[in-house]
Amino acid sequence: MRDHRHLLKEANDRYERLVRAANGFIYSVTLDQGKVVDAHYDAGCESVTGYTADDYGQDIDLWHRTIHPDDLEVVLNQIKKSTAADSVDSIEHRIIHRDGTTRWVRNTSIARRDQEGRLIGYEGLISDITDIKKSEADREALIAQLQQMALRDSLTGLMNRRGFEEEFNRLWSLALRHSFSLGLLVIDLDHFKQLNDSYGHAVGDRVLQECARVLAETVRVSDAVCRFGGDEFTVILPWSQADETGGVARRILTAIQAHSFCKVDHDLQMRASIGIASLTPTPNLVPSTFLERTDRALYLAKKRGRNQFCDWTETKL
């Protein structure tokens, strides 16, 4: 019958094989009055860090030097926490591999005490989680891309109606908090249905794409241009008083009139009707009221013959 030492050795061998299979290694640090006097790293450390167990044995500070400088404080705090209690503590941090690349590891440690309960060291497990972190980052990037796509109009690349609503509500809350004015434009291409009927939807789509570019090039970088739906566009103007909002509408009308749409094939001239409104948000107003005012102004611009802009205040006359 095999003795206990044989069984213990087999158990340790199995454990170390499992640790290596998980791309990790175990370590043990010995302390004397709180100072590191010895450290042992098993052979699996080379696959994770690039350094051998002998490298660590000959240089007692090597492990701390491999820790990414931005994460060193986190690791030192973990050591304090794990040595102050007997609970297992686990953190994730970066290390600098021997080849200069950055790796992510999960570092799990626990205090080691003598029979009198005095702290004599700590030990733990280091696992390489670089691939996991990369997968997480790729997943987060994909989610962000999908979320962005959900807020974008596939034809023009502008924010779609959902994107407009999110940006409108965000800027409304910001303006309410900091008491600055907002301008809003609702733009409708004149006689767009007739254009679609005469030239087909492919030409209509090209006109919408070119109109989106004209709008984006005419307004400020800080302004939000959206395709609200069909041939209707909106522009949100932060920090815009009534006269400034009117000036933007005037520039847009001029830019659309001056642009030759589908120039190579058709050289089309387009016009637009615009409704505008400006206000400084207050607690007794809601964003939908602002949009309704602008819609009424757009209706008035169409009623007056199109190819012009109207301010919502004119609807009260």
For the stretch 88-124, pLDDT in tens is 778 899 999 999 999 999 888 888 888 888 888 888 8
Q: What is the arithmetic mean of pLDDT over 281-310?
A: 93
**Quick check: is 143 in a domain?**
no
pTM: 0.60
**What is the structure's pLDDT at 124?**
87
Do the domain assignments include residue 142?
Answer: no
- Both 64 and 202 in one domain: the answer is no
d(CA 221, CA 232): 20
pLDDT, tens only, 288-299: 889 999 999 999
In a domain, 140, yes or no: no
Residue 146 lies in a domain: no
Residue 8, pLDDT above cutoff 60? no
Tens digit of pLDDT for each residue in 225-278? Answer: 999 989 999 999 999 999 999 999 999 999 999 999 998 888 899 999 999 999
Q: How many domains does the chain have?
A: 2
User: Which two three-digit tokens encode residue 173?
Assistant: 């809350």
Classify residue 85 by its DSSP letter. Answer: S
User: Pairing between strand 224-229 and 272-279?
Assistant: unpaired
Say what the pLDDT of residue 37 is: 86
- In the prediction, which pLDDT does 223 show? 92
| CA-based nearest residue to 211, from 166, 262, 249, 150 | 262
What rounded mean pLDDT belongs to the chain?
87
254 located within any domain: yes
Cβ atoms of 151 and 163 within 8 Å: the answer is yes
Domain of 112?
4-134
Interatomic CA distance for residues 75 and 235, integer angstroms? 49
Listed residue (255, 109, 284) closest to 185, CA to CA: 255
Residue 317 pLDDT > 50, yes or no?
Answer: yes
Is residue 119 a part of any domain in this protein?
yes
Q: Residue 210's closest CA among 270, 150, 163?
A: 270
In this structure, what CATH number is given to the domain that contains residue 200?
3.30.70.270
**Is residue 256, in this structure, part of any structural domain at all?**
yes
CA angle 181/176/171 to nearest 5° reads 70
* Residues in a beta bridge with 119: 113
Average pLDDT over residues 181-193: 95
